[in-house]
Each structure stands twice: as C-alpha cells, then as structure tokens.
A and B are shown apart, each in its own frame.
Chain A
Amino acid sequence: MAEYDRKTIEELIDGTIAFHKLKEMLSNFKDPGRFDTYLAILQDRVPWKDRILLPYGLHLYIVQKPNGDRVVKCDCGHEFGDYRENWKLNALIYVRDTEEKMAELYPKLMAPDPSWQVIREYYCPSCAAQLEVEAVTPWYPVIHDFEPDIDAFYNEWLGRPVPEPSAP
C-alpha cells in the first residue's frame, strides 16, 4: 500500500509537487493514511485553534467548537454557521447578469448570454476570497453543494469516533 511523507503531501497542497511524483500518485493505489497527514498539515497552518473535522473546500473547513458545535469556517477565521446549513447563505454575492459584467471576464461572444445564464460569485465577508462560483439560470436556488455525514465517516469508515470536543 502506498504511503507518502508529510513533505510530499505539503508539496501536493502547495501545488509544487514534481510532475513525475504526481503521475506516480495518480497511477498508484491510494494511501489510506492520507487523511490524517493532510488534516495535521492543515491544522498546523490555520491561525486558529478549533479542531478541523473535515476540509470542506479551498479555504473552508468544518471545525468543532469547544462546546461541540460544528461550523463551517474560513481559514481567515470567518465563521459561516452550522455545517448542516448552506454556508453560501451567509456569504457575500456578486451576480454577473449583464453583458458589461460578463465582459470583465470573457472576450466578446465568449461569455454566457445573461438572458440564459448568470455567473454568481460567492466571497468570504472577511477576507474576500472567492470561495465558489455558480453558472446557473436566473431564478436558480442557491446550491447546497455538500452535506457530509461526518459521524458515519469517522465511525464506520475511519473506524474511530469523531474527536471529543474537549480534546486538544
């Protein structure tokens, strides 16, 4: 079974991994220890103490608060609320729904026509990172992308309980 050291996974996260190593990783069996190495690196990198239960997206994590609450949190520290709710509803949005707004992104004729489709950009209200983009029709409900079953993942797949809130 494959196994990678912390440095290799750090290179992967940073996008600096050499192509031949990446190719080998893609072709090889998956390393079951990846999640723990990955989590440890991410935990060391964030500027706050809450325990990361699950990386949720680029800059986003589901973390456990000391009182046991699970919230979606940006690496800048901004909290978007309960992990079962759609974090986007607590973000900032910018909708590109005119030709002028589309023209900032694409050359003429190469953008979606706003009477068919709009582009919605979701920003973190604190650090302004663009966390997600939706290309949807007008009227489309905000998509709740991912609802992980964290308890089943830890208990049944990793074979260990979800860490206790009091754990450091």
Chain B
Amino acid sequence: MAELRQEERQVRQTRRPIGENGKTLREMREEIDRLTAETGHYAGLTTLPFKESDPIRYEKIFAKLRGGVVHARETAKRIAASPIVEQEGELCFTVYTPEGDSIVTSTGIIIHVGTMGAAIKYMIRQNYEENPGIEPGDIFCNNDCQIGNVHPCDVHTIVPIFWEGECVGWVGGVTHVIDTGATGPGSMTVGPVTRYDDGYQVACRKIGRNDTLLKDWLIESQRSVRTTKYWLLDERTRVAGCHMIRDLVLDVIAEEGVDTWRQFMREVIEEGRRGLINRIRAMTIPGRYRQVAFVDVPYRHSDVEVPPYAKVDTIMHAPSTITIRPDGQWELNFDGASRWGWHSYNATPVSFTSGIWVMMTQTLIPHDRVNDGAYFASKFYLPKGSWMNPDDIRTAHSYAWHFLVSGWSPLWRGLSRAYFARGYLEEVNAGNANTSNWLQGGGFNQYNEIHAINSFEAAAEGTGASAVKDGLDHAAAIWNPEGDMGDMEIWELAEPLLYLGRRIKPNTGGYGKYRGGCGYETLRMVWGAKDWTMFFMGNGYMVSDCGLMGGYPAAAGYRFEAHGTDLKERFEKRLPFPQGSDPDPDDPAYEKNLNAKVIKRDKQAITTEAIFENYDLYVNYLRGGPGFGDPLERRPEQIEADLNGGYLLPRFAEKVYGAVFTRDEKGTYHVDAAKTEERRRQIRQERLRRGRPVKEWMAEERQRILAKEASVQVRHMFAGSFALSPRFLAEFRSFWNLPEDWIVREEELEVPTFGTRLKLS
C-alpha cells in the first residue's frame, strides 16, 4: 500500500492532481520526457494525425492562437508607461503546455520562449501543485536567473489555464523593467558581482489569487525597486496580456473541445521540431563549422568600483562548433568557453538555449512556428563552470547580454558559410553588432521623482553585411527583431537629458565589399536632474564581432563624458557649443566649443556610477555591424555614397578601399573608378609584400607562447578555458606544437582567484 507523506495527507483531503486523467503535472512532465527520449519525436508523436487528417482546422487553431498572442502583446504594451516597453516593445507572451513546453509565442523579446517554460518546469519539479498549490486564478512571478531567466530585469508573470478543474496549459508574459533595485540604478546596471547585488529576485512566487494581485506582494515589490510607477504598470501590462490570452485559449477549447486542444498543442511542438530539421536540410550543408567570439571585461580601471576580488581584467571566450549531421539535426558545442566571473555578464543555460531562437527567427526559422520544437531538434553542450553554465549560485547576471550578443555573433558566420555554399546568398549575414552602449543611471529626475533610466536607443544598431548588400544602418538589435531607436522627444520626457545631437557615426560599420551597417551617436546634456549618476556599458578594448570572407569587424567602442562644463555660460552668451556627432576622434570636435573641468575620452567603455551635474555631457555611441568580402571589391559608387552620406571618413576611403576621389566646390565627393582600380592594384602588391607565409608567422607566435608573452587578460582568459576543458588545452598544445606539460594557470597570474576552487551550488 502506498504511504503518503504527512504533508501529502493534508493536501489530498481537499485537493486532486490537476493534470490530465488524474495525473500530477510532475507525472505528465516525466511522461513527455520519456516518450520524447524513447522515440526521438516530441511526446512520442511519430505521426501528426490531427494535422494530417484535418489540416485546415489545425491551421485555423494555430492562426487564432498566434494572432491572439500578438494582439495581446500589442494591446497590453499600451498599458505600460515605461518607454522600454511602450516604445521599444520589450515584452513577449507565450503559451505553454501543462508541462511547461512552449506552443506559440508572440513577437518581441522571443528569448523568453524558453525561460518562462523553465520557471514552469521548476514549479512542477518543486511540486508547487501541493504547496503553494496551483489553482484557477493564480498568478506567479519569476525573475530568478538560476531558475529560468536571462537577467533580473526581465520579470515574468505566469498564469495557469484550467478547463473543468484540469490544468491544460500556462501563459507567460515578460517585460523588461527599468529598475530592479540593484546596487546601481538602471535595469542592467554595472557593478553587481554577485546575485546579492543584482537586485530584487523573485523565485517562482505565487503573487496573486482569483486574478487579483496580493496586497503583501504589491507592498513588498513596490518597496524593492526605484521606479515603482513603471514596475506597477509593467506588471499590469503582463497580467492583462496573460488574461487576454487565457481567455483566448479557453474560447478555443470551448469551440474545438479539450481533446483536440491536447492533441493540437503537442503536434504543434513536434511540427516545430520537424520544421527546424527541414530548414537545416533545405538551406545548409552537413559538416562542422568553427568560430569564436570575445569581449572585454576591463575591471581593473579606477572607474569600475567593485570589490577587490572582482578587480580583474579578463576576456570572455566563446568558441563554438556547429555540427550539422546528415540526418538534419544539429549540435551547438561551446567547449572551451571561459569560466564565469565576478561581474554581471554571466548567463544561465536556459538563457543561452532559449536565446538562440531569437537569433534563429531572423535567419533559419523566419516564421511563426517558434516553440520548443526547435529546442528538441537541437543538442547543446554548454560546459559546466563556464560563463554560460555557472557552477555557483552566487553569480550576477544583470547584463548577461554583454556576453550573449558577443558569444552568438559567430554563429551567423557559421550558418552563413553554409548559406553561401548552397547559393542562398541573400541569407548570408556577417554577424550582429555589440548592442551597446547602454546609457543608464538614476537619481531625482526633472519631475523631482526618484528615477532610473536605461536608454533603449541600443535597440537600433548597425546590422551585419550580407553577400548581396550592405548591412542596415542604425536599424536593429539581435535581441529584438523589431527594434527601434525610439523618438528623441519621448526619451527627453523619460530622462533628464537633452539631445544636443543624434547623428550617424562614420566608420562604425565593418568595411567590406559590402559593409556592415553603421551605428549612430547621441550627445546628451544633463538637465533638470538632482543627485544624479550615470555610467557606461559596452565593448571598448575589443570588438565582439568579426567580418566574414574578407570583411572587417565593426569598430570598437569608447566613452566620452564631460563634467564641470561651461555650457551654461555659453548658452547665456550665445556662444557656440558642442552639437551633433564626434565623427573623427583623431580630431575631437566637441572640445573645440567646450571647456570642462574633466573630460574622459578613452576606451574604458564600462564604468560604474559617476556623479553627473546639470550641463554635464554624455555621448551614447551605438555600434555598427561587421562587413563581408574584400573591401578592395567595393563598387566605387558605393564608396562615393558613403563619403557623401557621412558614413565614411575620407582618409579611410583611401586606405581601406583604395578609392581615389576629388571633392567639388559644393563639398560633394566623386570617386574616379579608373584611378581607384590602379590604386587597388598597388594595394594588392603591398599585400603580397607585407604578407608572410602563415607557417612562418606561426613559428614566431609559438615562441611568444612558450615565453608566455601576452597581457594578463589574455592569459587569464586562456587559463580559465584550459581549467575547464582538457580538450581545448590539448588542441591548443597540439596546434602550437607545445610541450605536453605546457599550461597557463590562474594561480600564476597574480590576480585574485576567488571562486576557482570553492563553490556555492
């Protein structure tokens, strides 16, 4: 006779399992996993009887659901006051099976197609069905990264859907909130080095009953963040969207019957699995694709105020191998990735595996069947202990995207090699921009309210070049395919910062036969703020992308800030003042019309909070995308257009593109095609003179490695990767023909090594 635990006895007096046919959700989850593992098909569906026998009805249900979730997103976002949600569309809604697998998702920040599912699965594993109970009308909240999130500012609202007492699904809604009460203001603050600094963390908590938010939740959450008004309205946005979608699902069930619903939701996931495999076979080549990404963590600088054990310069390392098997399944392997660290750029496995799909919807699966099916067609290897799979619960994640957007950029290149080989040149993309800078900060704003800001101008970066055309200028960000830079007038309402300029940033797109899209920059002057701080967040010492097939990477970042300026006086006396852009940092423009006590113009593009007074200046430089193909093959008329459009400084048209041109009296550039061709012939000869046989260069590089000649940050990166991956170390030794005992260890670098040995899991 089965014996119940004491707490189960208590529960079973009044409560029945809420799953199908008297099963618990946990039993259902286990069954789905078993059937999928046994058959290789989601939920054991080797055929799709509903879709095959009644395809019109099947498609009607899908269209109704998809239309409904998109409609709910569009409607709900109008409730929000935060420009991040209302202007930028940083929200997303997804419908899940009772077991937590995603069925259909809206447009928006699609990375969350899997993260809220991870939270639902966590609740199922933790037996929430028993305690605190899962009932009709309940509302749950999660933003805990280690349970299922990207970073704490993406707050999830999760609502179960019941039909006649049975849980038949879930709906989740997520918005990117403007502040989470972290050590610094802004949603993706710089400064946290542990989860205890990362802000308010809600771990799958029941926050509402009977469709009503609980009073204790409202009080506690409002008291835990800086921007209470935005927090409250964002939450109402999510709740309204979830309830709209729950009603829609219930209407579908009423019309189609619950048995049809159960069959439909599983078939649509299996269809998603098959869909990815079909696309892989239709568009790629089986084989192995290798690529790598890096990004800088420059924490030793005095403008980064963090605990001493975090004062380390290091580099994120993300080598990746895409293996496309002859059966059309693929594996994404990140063996060799560097260790997690004491900064806020760590990522969790679910943010990594779920986030891949926001990228894939822009290339491999550009349709509306984005659900967990694609996940079931994929195999990931994310090394334990690395930045993408930390083996310590203490890690901070507030700007996980610093590493994610960098780590994923090479995947474009791998896939693009396949598209190029197949002839699908229109799909080639050299990569995505580093989606920065992030202008963030807080204090008292122009309305005398405590406030935090995070400018989502970063949603419009340059995109990568294709094999057919240039990348788009100041257009999009990888994490939101519908990105938008937002209206200046709205940002000026939301932030105590006036615009003195917003212009294209020349030379930011990577050069090439087709260039990467250029980024842009805005010059902001603090106005109406009190007790105000701001900081920078972006790549500076490194580029995180790379060109493809001869194209160059996009330009790296830098910072410009000015404190104690004479702008007040200049305005009063009607003297010239800095406006527009900083087109050529070799010839700094702003300083010509500005005196300031302190000007910081350097490559330290990551800083923690600095005090900004009114009339202080801040440049928000949004990056460009990488280029494609040899720049010497760029058509002269395109170079001319770049020069005349302000996308390219003249001396780089000469040096990089070999262009020979004149400028007429009206200032218009004219490129001479014949002279350009002649100059290019000379440049090719110069290349042959300066180029060296690779093997000859390798012999010299090997000597530098043997002597351990490299900066601390480079050695620190390799030490972290070597410690986690014997394979990576062995391949490194083999490539450079190093002795079998050659290694670099963190311990020998004379930098703090907290976290390398003792873990809190």
Contact = CB atoms under 8 A, between A and B. Distances in A.
Interface string A130-168: 111111111111111111110011001100000000000
Contacts of B294: 117, 135-137
Nearest to B506: A107
Interface string B421-459: 111111100000000000000000000000000000000
B711 A115 contact: yes
B542 A25 contact: no
A110 B292 contact: no
Contact of A105 (B511, B586, B687): B511
Contact of A93 (B413, B425, B545, B692): B692
Contact of B632 (A57, A117, A130): A130
A30 interface: yes
A75 B547 CA distance: 21
A143 B552 CA distance: 16
Interface string A107-132: 11111110111010111010111111
Given A15-B469, A133-B546, A136-B292, A37 B695 contact: no
B649 A137 contact: no
Interface size range of chain B in the complex: 35 or more
Nearest to B629: A58
A15 B414 CA distance: 21
Interface size range of chain A in the complex: 35 or more
A112 B543 contact: yes
Given A92-B691, A105-B656, A26 B549 contact: no
B421 A128 contact: no
A17 B468 contact: yes
B694 A94 contact: no
Interface string A1-19: 0000000010011010100
A38 B584 CA distance: 42
A23 to B, nearest CB: 9
B584 A107 contact: yes
Most buried by A among B283, B285, B414, B514: B285
Interface in B660-711: 684-685, 687-688, 690-695, 697-698, 701, 704-705, 710-711
A139 B710 contact: yes
B51 interface: no
Interface stretch (B32-40, B114-122, B731-739): B731-739
Contacts of A131: 549-550, 630
A26 B584 contact: no
Contacts of B468: 12, 15, 17, 22
B556 A106 contact: yes
B578 interface: no
Contacts of B692: 92-94
Interface string B547-576: 101111101111000000000000000000
A114 B549 CA distance: 22
B382 interface: no
A66 interface: no
A contact patch SS: mixed
Given A132-B550, A133-B547, A149-B326, A109 B732 contact: no
A146 B549 contact: no
B688 A123 contact: yes
B543 A117 contact: yes
B289 A127 contact: no
A98 interface: no
Contact of B556 (A13, A90, A110): A110
Contacts of A132: 549-550
B603 A113 contact: yes
Contacts of A143: 290-292
A132 B430 CA distance: 12
B586 A108 contact: yes
B469 A22 contact: yes
A142 B507 CA distance: 27
A32 interface: yes
A123 B601 CA distance: 35
Contact of A128 (B427, B635, B649, B687): B687
B542 A117 contact: yes
Contacts of A91: 691, 694
Contacts of A112: 541-543, 553, 556
Most buried by A among B420, B423, B425, B551: B423
B652 interface: yes
B507 A148 contact: no
Contacts of A157: 281, 285-286, 326
A92 B542 CA distance: 24
A17 B469 CA distance: 9
Nearest to B560: A109
Contacts of A138: 701, 704, 710-711, 714
B467 A58 contact: yes
Interface of B: 281-283, 285-292, 294, 296, 315, 317, 326, 413-414, 417, 420-427, 467-469, 507-508, 511, 513-514, 541-543, 545-547, 549-553, 555-558, 584-586, 601-603, 628-632, 635, 649, 652, 655-656, 684-685, 687-688, 690-695, 697-698, 701, 704-705, 710-711, 713-714, 717-718, 731-732, 735-736
Given A92-B688, A139-B718, A157-B286, 10 more contacts: A15-B514, A30-B283, A55-B420, A105-B655, A122-B694, A133-B551, A135-B545, A140-B292, A145-B290, A147-B288
Q: Which 10 A-B pairs have the closest CB atoms?
A: A92-B691, A38-B423, A128-B684, A109-B558, A148-B287, A110-B555, A152-B326, A141-B735, A58-B549, A130-B630
17 contacts: A15-B467, A15-B469, A22-B469, A26-B427, A38-B423, A55-B423, A58-B420, A106-B556, A110-B508, A130-B550, A135-B546, A137-B714, A139-B701, A139-B705, A141-B732, A147-B288, A156-B286
Interface of A: 9, 12-13, 15, 17, 22, 25-26, 30, 32, 34-35, 37-39, 54-58, 88-95, 104-113, 115-117, 119, 121-123, 125, 127-149, 152-153, 156-157
